[in-house]
Amino acid sequence: MKIVVGLGNPGAQYEKTRHNIGWMVLDRLADRAGWSGRGRTRDAAAIVQGRFRGLDLVLVKPLTYMNESGLAVRKALARERAPLVELLVVADDFALPFGKLRFREGGSAGGHNGLKSIIEELGNEQFSRLRVGIGDPGRDAIDHVLSQFGRGEKARLSELLDAAADAVEAWAREGTNKAANHYNAFELRPDDDERAAPPGEVDGPPGLDGIRRTRTGWRKPKPPEGGE
């Protein structure tokens, strides 16, 4: 059994903010597995679990605020009697450019309050985490993580969530090191205003059928939600 925790804050005001990208990644996985709407609330978290593509997964979204995420993680591990090697935490990281992915097997919280809470609650730093880049604040970090993505970022957000969901599946199948070898080098396509590749080329714009070629395959992006 693999336990995947996505970090975020409960409440509609936080739903589409950068700090909630961990929740967004788990929602994308639940969509793939056909589990959307099937979860239940227990032990301070929204939880859905089942078998997907040969993987036994438990998806956990702590319903505490970010600073107390560790409580829900400790309870999930205790309930499943799972060792730390079976845990992956998906979190935002403003030290990474928007669209970068970074696996680590352990280490400090790096200033992330959700990871800090988990480390304090478990008394251990040795668990895997997938950091998803949300871009440099360039200003107050709290305002940045609680802001929504910009227009150019929203246009690529679905592709980033797909890549992060792929990375989580790779971790569950192959472990952190092999997943890191592949996904730590992942590059999200440039913003539409920055790229010059023609349709049909890697990272080029969509063709007439709306399908875009990426480094990991062919995708038909979902339309961005909302506006700037």
Q: Active-site residues: which are they?
A: 19
Buried residues in 100-116 as b, exposed as e (16+ CB within 10 A): bbbbbeeeebeebbbbb
Under 8 Å between Cβ of 207 and 199: yes
Q: Can you tell me the distance from the alpha carbon of 154 to that of 55, in angstroms, rounded to the nearest whole number?
A: 30
* Burial class for 37, CB neighbours closer than 10 Å (0-12, 13-18, 19+): exposed
Cα(115)–Cα(108) distance, integer angstroms: 8
Query: If residue 219 lies in a helix (H) or strand (E), which one and from where to where?
Result: strand 217-219
Rounded CA gap, 73 and 52, in Å?
A: 22
Q: Bridge-partner residues for 46, per DSSP?
A: 41, 61
Burial (Cβ within 10 Å: 0-12, 13-18, ≥19) of residue 143: exposed
